[in-house]
């Protein structure tokens, strides 16, 4: 895991601007604490940072290729891991390429030399990188198929700025942290738009996309997307195929030259990853979990959380014989303003579910004390159909993004927003428009019946929208602690296969994720295998809601707090004084958390320009 930031200019001599490099070097220090490099020419400047994971002595960046006369021809700023780099290196050697080290970075460099932009299609892994072709004076930006690694860009008056995070682009001095109405909609709607960034003039490279920039301007093209196909395997063959794919994926992803670990929640997904990893490593596996301290004695089942994680984590850790560490997080740690501000800084925006984000940030810090790389079960629920909205007919029929369902009327994040501003930005209209756009993209064979078509739509919406939120969270909060997160369920070969499996096979035993459960049934204890899906926990401690209310009260009392100009005074009053904490006025806890995050965001120098 690394971070990159760079500039291209066709009028300014960037080689004569050393102050730019000095500013850019500090932007992504946590993404790359082990090394920082720099390369510049009149037309381009690259500043990559490195978190060393594979080939600790090699893999230096930026990676530079030269011709027979020693002239520089290609410059690469690379972030990520390519898990088929060994096979690619052997193929490139047969094609005449020589290698100086054993890193995947150099494999990507040589792959570009051999296949140009077509190299992206040959990479299996998680990555985002920038290539400067010196001879063509052209920049190429590439992002992996699911957006596991972030990559942003923005056109400047005379070129292009790019980087792993928005904050990196700001260090160039050419991009300002300004959020307009469209950005505010994107930040507070929970309807992710592929390619959209919350800051004015900035975009994200869409997963599976190439972006070229040269003297002829900017051009975008897809190199990958889901392809619909008729599934011809029977159920037993499908189960065996999923198991074989998972074994191959995890075998590849445990490779590292630094300590590796795995997250363990006691659910099917993370437990399966841990069990498969344990088979590969041979010895004890490091595992980590998080539990809210209040839940140890006071957990109550609710609509989506049928059971607490801790008992299942303990059972699975004992089954694995893992070196397990459980992090307990209490209310005071969740409402610590410094931790909240760090989360907002890491995300470069407010997020849905502040308790989740702060606890994951603290868990990442704990992991970093013992490990540099961790595996997670992210992506399984989206691919195999684990969430409640895949199974409850109300959510399935809802004409909106399924994760919003009935709750969208409660305005997850925008409940405290000024009502005139809410109406002017037209949040409901924005949601409807994004939903229609997403449905229009869904790849179909044309042979699906109505029920199968709907389940294909829900899978696509989850894999291209909801998963973006999950992966952004995993990446940003891990990198805030210099931890690389790997996601075996987001391997594109697995996703391509499972995407085309009929829904009836995915729920063959009448339960969520039947196909995955059958594929790993021999690896897990019965209690874990049969556990009902329980999402990441939401803290139930009443003191947390009280503490949030007091934070909101303090923000309201700050006369100069910029966020107060965006908030509705009546709704804030309801959240502070109403016995239901504002629920009767349509204000959810997430709305209060969002207001607190907006306060941290605007206090950090972000400006809202409507």
Residues involved in catalysis: 2
Identify the CA nearest to 378 among candidates 489, 463, 458.
489
The CA angle 207-488-438, to the nearest 5 degrees, is 35
Structure tokens, 603: 């206090």
CB-based contact 390:455 (threshold 8 Å): yes
Cα 39 versus chain centre, distance: 28
Beta bridge partner(s), residue 82: 125
Cα 295 versus chain centre, distance: 27
Beta bridge partner(s), residue 78: 129
CB-based contact 190:352 (threshold 8 Å): yes
CB-neighbour burial class of residue 123 (10 A; exposed 0-12, middle 13-18, buried 19+): buried
Cα 492 versus chain centre, distance: 15
Alpha-carbon Rg for the chain, nearest whole angstrom, is: 24
Task: Tell me how far apart the alpha carbons of residues 438 and 399 are, in angstroms, rounded to a whole number.
Answer: 12
Place of tokens 């003039």: 201
| DSSP element (H, E) containing 217 | strand 217-222
Task: Tell me how far apart the alpha carbons of residues 137 and 190 are, in angstroms, rounded to a whole number.
Answer: 38
The upper half-sphere exposure of residue 594, i.e. CA atoms within 13 Å in the direction of its Cβ, equals 24
Identify the CA nearest to 78 among candidates 122, 170, 142.
142
The CA angle 325-326-329, to the nearest 5 degrees, is 140
The CA angle 370-371-372, to the nearest 5 degrees, is 145
By residue count, the chain amounts to: 610
Identify the CA nearest to 2 among candidates 149, 131, 118, 203.
149
Task: Tell me how far apart the alpha carbons of residues 95 and 446 are, in angstroms, rounded to a whole number.
Answer: 41
């Amino acid at each position: 895991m690394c971070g990159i930031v760079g500039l291209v200019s066709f009028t300014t001599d960037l080689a004569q601007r050393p102050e730019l490099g000095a500013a850019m070097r500090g932007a992504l220090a946590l993404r790359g604490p082990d090394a920082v490099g720099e390369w510049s020419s009149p037309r381009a400047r690259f500043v990559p940072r490195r978190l060393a994971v594979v080939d600790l002595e090699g893999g230096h960046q930026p990676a530079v290729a030269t011709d027979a006369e020693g002239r520089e021809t290609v410059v690469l700023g690379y972030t990520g891991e390519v898990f088929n780099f060994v096979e690619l290196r052997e193929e490139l050697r047969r094609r005449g390429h020589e290698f100086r080290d054993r890193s995947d970075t150099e494999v990507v460099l040589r792959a570009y030399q051999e296949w140009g932009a077509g190299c992206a299609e040959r990479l299996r892994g998680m990555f985002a990188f920038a290539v400067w072709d010196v001879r063509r004076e052209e920049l190429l930006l590439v992002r992996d198929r699911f957006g596991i690694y972030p990559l942003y860009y923005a056109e400047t008056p005379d070129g292009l700025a790019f980087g792993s995070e928005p904050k990196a682009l700001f260090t160039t001095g050419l991009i300002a942290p300004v959020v307009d109405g469209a950005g505010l909609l994107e930040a507070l709607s929970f309807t992710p738009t592929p390619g959209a960034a919350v800051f004015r003039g900035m975009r994200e490279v869409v997963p599976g996309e190439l972006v070229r920039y040269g003297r002829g301007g900017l051009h975008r093209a897809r190199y990958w997307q889901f392809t619909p196909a008729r599934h011809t395997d029977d159920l037993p063959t499908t189960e065996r195929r999923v198991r074989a794919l998972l074994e191959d994926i995890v075998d590849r992803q445990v490779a590292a030259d630094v300590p590796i670990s795995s997250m363990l929640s006691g659910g099917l997904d993370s437990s399966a990853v841990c069990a498969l990893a344990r088979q590969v490593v041979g010895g004890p596996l490091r595992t980590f979990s998080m539990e809210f301290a209040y839940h140890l004695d006071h957990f109550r089942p609710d609509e989506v959380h049928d059971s607490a994680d801790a008992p299942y984590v303990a059972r699975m850790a004992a089954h694995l014989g893992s070196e397990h560490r459980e992090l307990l997080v209490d209310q005071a740690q969740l409402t610590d303003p410094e931790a909240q501000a760090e989360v907002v800084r890491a995300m470069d925006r407010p997020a849905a579910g502040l308790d989740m984000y702060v606890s994951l940030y603290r868990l990442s810090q704990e992991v970093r004390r013992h490990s540099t790389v961790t595996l997670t079960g992210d992506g399984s629920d989206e691919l195999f159909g684990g969430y409640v909205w895949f199974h409850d007919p109300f959510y399935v029929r809802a004409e909106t993004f399924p994760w919003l369902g009935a709750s969208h009327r409660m305005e997850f994040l925008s409940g405290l927003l000024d009502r005139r501003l809410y109406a002017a930005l037209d949040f409901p209209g924005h949601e409807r428009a994004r939903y229609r756009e997403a449905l229009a993209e869904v790849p179909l064979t044309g042979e699906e019946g109505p029920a199968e078509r709907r389940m294909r739509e829900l899978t696509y919406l989850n894999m291209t929208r909801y998963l973006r939120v999950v992966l952004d969270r995993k990446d940003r909060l891990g990198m805030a602690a210099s931890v690389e997160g790997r996601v075996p369920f987001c391997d594109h070969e697995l996703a391509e296969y499972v995407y085309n499996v009929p829904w009836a096979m995915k729920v063959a035993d009448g339960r969520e994720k039947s196909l995955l459960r059958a594929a790993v049934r021999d690896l897990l204890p019965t209690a874990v295998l049969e556990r009902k899906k329980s999402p990441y926990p939401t803290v139930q401690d009443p003191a947390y809601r009280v503490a949030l209310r007091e934070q909101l009260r303090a923000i309201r009392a700050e006369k100069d707090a910029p966020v107060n100009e965006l908030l509705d005074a009546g709704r804030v009053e309801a959240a502070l004084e109403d016995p239901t904490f504002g629920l009767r006025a349509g204000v959810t806890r997430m709305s209060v958390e969002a207001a607190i995050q907006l306060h941290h965001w605007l206090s950090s120098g972000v400006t809202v320009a409507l």
